Chain A
Amino acid sequence: MTNSQTRDLFPGALEMMILRVLKVQPLHGYALVQHIKRASNDLLQIEEGSLYPALQRLLKEGCVKAEWGISSTNRRVRIYKLTPAGARHLEREVSSFEQMLKGIARVLAPVKS
């Protein structure tokens, strides 16, 4: 499934982005993925479907809640909402991600010159 062109995100990245988007507002799957794509300026190549296993994982861990509802386009959709536990999880993840990014950037910096 994987090759060099469509590299998978690192594990947990998609979940982190989902939580970040849901922090702003509850959304359903389709809207969520459009949001991520738009926000990333289409730099990230995300298989739209891969959102769903990630959402299931978040559901199982209690980071999000889901409820069937009606979307703005009048469709029956499942709307995801961040839980307090999810918010805490997001904070932890973001800070550890930033640490990692900083570390990687430092290592990469001298070569770049």
Chain B
Amino acid sequence: MSQPDLLAIRNLSVSFPADRGRTTVVQNLSLTVSPGETVALVGESGSGKSVTSLAVTRLLDYGPGRIDAGEIRYRDRDGTVRDLVRENAESMRRLRGPEIAMIFQQPMSSLNPVMRIGEQIAEAIVQHREIGWSEAEAEALQLLERVRIPDARRQLKRYPFEISGGMRQRVMIAIALASRPRLLIADEPTTALDVTVQAQVLRLLRELRNDLGTGLLFITHDMGVVAELADRVVVMRGGERVEEGSVTQIFGAPVHAYTKSLLAAVPVLGSLAETPLPAPFAIPPEKAVPQDTVAAGAPILQVRDLVTRFDVRNAFGMLNARVHAVEQVNLDIQPGETLALVGESGCGKSTLGRSIVRLETPRSGQIVFDGKDVLGADAEANPELRRGIQYVFQDPYSALDPRLTVGFSIAEPIRTHALRQGAAVTDRVAELLELVGLPTHFAARYPHELSGGQCQRVGIARALASEPRLIIADEAVAALDVSIRAQVVNLLMALQRRLGLSCLFISHDMAVVERVSHRVAVMYLGQIVEIGPRQAVLTSPQHAYTRRLLAAVPIPDPARRRRELAIDDSEVPSPLRAPDDNPTVAPLVEVGPGHYVARHPVGGSY
């Protein structure tokens, strides 16, 4: 067997205890990483990619997982080749940090909440080198500056909860770099981050790899990120490697059927730039034919000057500040139309959706649905008004009561609104299950027996049970794997064709938005800064924030890899304001047919 340049995994198998015996989650996996090379390990949830990273660092030992077979050959700083499967715990500990470092997915929970950031970095330095704490702290400061954390000296003394998610992930990178590792393993390091922050972090990782010559094993499910960063790609499914190749090879000429279907399900921003209409994903039986479903006439939903704010009170009930989640928002949706509401976390897009169905109480404004004001006083008492608008939630599991069967959950709206009686309820449930592409016997199942995609179909069936005219899909496909996501998007679009539904599609994913929507509204700090036809907004964005957002989206095509990103390291300001400091909201300016843009300053930056 050839000796590795850096890392060579051969025939690795890992298993976890199961109800009976053990389940193998990684089977016969082989891959190599050379110094300075970036290898992307790609797969959907349950493919075993994260477990592989834990096996290499042997952090697996601290959980129930076990390496059953194979070897992990690693060439260390001194040129000695070791088999990490056979190293003892103490020598593995010495390797973690100076040789192999890791970055994890959840920046929110991966830092110790009660330890200052400076100490968390410094302890990684002190552990492996013969230097004192004050020297280590000075080095920590340099590292924070290296990962471009502004005002680094002050950040050293702060606790993780005091800084944003993007900043925490930079701190994680600083910790990983603290002992100058030769192999860096990044496990979905940008998945929990907003797209602009993701772009910043990816650029940082690329720079560091180029400057330091570390090998990078990058684990992700996001083909866009792979195309941006990787030299070589290993595709995994069900614990096994299905394909391996250079990044151009995998994207240009995939061999394995799974890789092909995976790539077909990945939305590519810009692929519908030539048509104003949405089109489903080209996965059988659907064809990617643009569909025109918008009906002329009065809008089904009109939102006027809607304001939703949350009071932040201190222990004595005094008003400290207000979160301006939704500020003077205006929008219309036509029958059969999909309006996409895009923006980053905290921009207020979910609050807007929740305000429309009155899960939040708007402070002022008007919501007119089908000609009726739904914010009026008598509206609360009238469940009939709730019926016309239905909500589909992000997490398919938590939106269903775990103690009730799927059938009961779908029947609940039918019973609440007395749409059917007696046995007809069961028939209707069966009909709805078929409509969303599930077998009728699923009615007797419990949510935990379903997969994520199946659960989300149930959520959609329950929404349809009220026979609504408008569906609000709040990040409804964000939690799903790529291939499942494409199927559910296609389902929503098929339902729009068949039933003429309108849809408010709340999403952070610009590529999916391009697929599904007729019009797009961009939210920033509670305000709509740009709204217009999808084609116009995505191809010629007028607002600076829209441009920034679009520039940050990674394109799943290595041929279109951007050399340098036009993204600075600034962060989105907080929507928290002093009680009487209301933001200015001027009317939007029309720049094209139906295309409106904010020309007033929003949040200082734009």
Q: Are the chains A and B members of one assembly?
A: no
